[in-house]
Amino acid sequence: MQTHVSTTPFGRRPMTLGQISSQMAAKAVKPDAVAHKWQVFQDIREARELLGATDRSLAILNALLTFHPETALTGDAELIVWPSNEQLAARANGMPATTLRRHIAVLVDCGLVIRRDSPNGKRFARKGRGGEIEQAYGFDLSPLVARAQEFRDLAEAVHAERRAFRVAKERLTLLRRDIVKLIDTGIEEGVPGNWGKVLLDYQAIIARLPRSAPRQLVEAISAELSALYEDIREALESFTKTQNPDGNESHSGRHIQNSNPELHTESEYRIREKSEAGGTAADTDNVRSLPKRELPLGIVLDACPGVLELAQGGEIRHWRDFLAAAELVRPMLGISPSAWREAREALGEQHAAITLAAIYQRADQIGSPGGYLRSLTERAKDGKFSTWPMIMALLRAKLDAQKTQAGADGAKAEEPRPSDGLRASEALLRSLNKPRPR
C-alpha cells in the first residue's frame, strides 16, 4: 500500500515558503550523495550566524543526530528520527520543554530539518512484518545531505573572514605602535616638524575606533594610519639623510638637534632655576602652612585652565581625563619621552601631570620646557620640589591680575574660584595674599 509523505506541520503551526524550499532541496538530493553527519554538524556550527541558528538549536540538532544510528548520511536512506520530547530533552542536557519547542522551530525555519508530522502530531514509526520501517513520523535529516556542500562553503567563508579580520587587527596594532614610537623618536631626536599636530591627527583617527569594530572599519582606519605612517617615516628618513649622508652611525655618532630655536641648555637654565621653580624659603613656608593633602582637581584646573583646551569636549571631570590631556601636552611642548618618563618616576603620574599643566600654562615664559621639567625632576628626587608652590604661584598671579583689573574698572576683585565648584579655604586665601619677599 502506498503511503503519503506529510509536508505540512501539525496543529496551528503555519506552513511557509521557506519550508517548501527546504523540502524541494531535500527531494532533489542525489541517491548516491553521502555526508558525514558530524562533519556537517561542525560546518553548521561554524556558520550558525549566517544560517540564523542559535546555540540552543544546535544543541537540539546534535541530540537529533545521536538518534540516527549511522555516521554516514546517504541520499537514498531513511533519515527520519522520531524521539519523544522527553528523550530529546534528556540528550539536550535537560532543556525545558518550552525552550525545546522554540528552538526546534528555529531548526525548521533555518531549513536544517523538516517536520514529518503524523495525523495526531505524535512521533513514531510503523514497522512491517519483517521489522523494516514502513512509515516514520518525526524529523527528517535529509537537508543535511542535500545542503552539505552549502554548509561547507559557508564555513570556509566564515574562516576566511576571521583570518582577514585577524590580519586587519594585526596591521592596525603594528601601525599604532610604529606611529607612536616614531613620533617619540622625532621629538627626542629633535627632528623639525609640528609633532604636536601629528599626535593630534593620530588621536583623531584612533578616536573613531570603537571597542568592537567590524573588519571594514578596522581596514579603513588602518588605511588612514598607513598614510600618516608614511608621512612620518618620510620626514624622519629625510632628516636622517641630511644629518648622516653616508648612513654610517659610527662615523658621526648620534646627532640630536632641537627643533625649537629658543631652547636653552641645562646650565643656562639652572641660573634661574630657583625663581621659576618657586623654591624660595618663603614659598616653602607657605607650602608648609597649607593642609597636608593632595591638590584638589578643581584648584589645579583653576590655576591651569589652558589644559582644558586639549581635553576631549573641553571638559575635565576626573583625574583620568586630566592625565589623558597631559599626554597631549607633552609633545606640544617638545618634551622628550625620556624626560616625561623620569618625571613620572620621580613625582608620580598625577603630580607629573600637574607639573606639565603648570608648565603649559606658563609656556610663553619658559624657554626650555624640557629642561625645566628635568630640573624640577632633579629637585623632586632631592625632596626640594612640590607641586603645591607651583600651583599657588599661578593662583597668586591670577589673583593679582584680577585685583589689578578690578582696580582699573573701579570694582572689587573676585576671589579665585575652582572650575568644578570647589572653594579655596581661608587658610589658602591667606597664604595667597601673603606679601612675597622682595
pLDDT score for 250: 43
The per-residue pLDDT for range 153-163, each reduced to its tens digit, is 999 999 999 99
The per-residue pLDDT for range 314-329, each reduced to its tens digit, is 788 888 889 888 888 8
Instruction: Give this prediction's pTM.
Output: 0.53
CA distance 81 to 71: 14
Q: Is the pLDDT of residue 218 over 80?
A: yes
Q: Is the pLDDT of residue 356 over 70?
A: yes
Contact (Cβ atoms closer than 8 angstroms) between residue 203 and residue 158:
no
CA distance 189 to 258: 7
Query: For strand 133-140 and strand 124-127, is the pairing parallel, antiparallel, or unpaired?
Result: antiparallel
pLDDT score for 433: 58
* Lowest model confidence (mean pLDDT) among 79-88, 256-265, 282-291: 256-265
Contact (Cβ atoms closer than 8 angstroms) between residue 399 and residue 430:
no
Report the Cα 436 to chain-centroid distance in Å. Answer: 49
* Structure confidence at residue 44 as a pLDDT band (50, 70, 90): very high
Q: Is the pLDDT of residue 287 over 60?
A: no
Q: Is the pLDDT of residue 109 over 70?
A: yes
Closest CA to 375 of 287, 262, 278, 301: 278
Contacting residues for 114 by C-beta, under 8 A, at least 6 apart: 19, 22, 23, 26, 108, 139, 140, 142, 143
pLDDT score for 275: 40
Residue 261 vs residue 203, higher pLDDT? 203
C-alpha cell recorded at residue 51: 544560517
* Lowest model confidence (mean pLDDT) among 58-62, 126-130, 135-139, 291-295: 291-295
CATH fit for domain 17-146, picks 3.30.300, 1.10.3470, 1.10.10, 1.20.1300: 1.10.10
Q: How far is CA 274 from CA 94, 363, 387, in A?
A: 77, 17, 14
**Domain chopping of the chain, boundaries:** 17-146, 162-244, 266-433
CA distance 202 to 197: 9
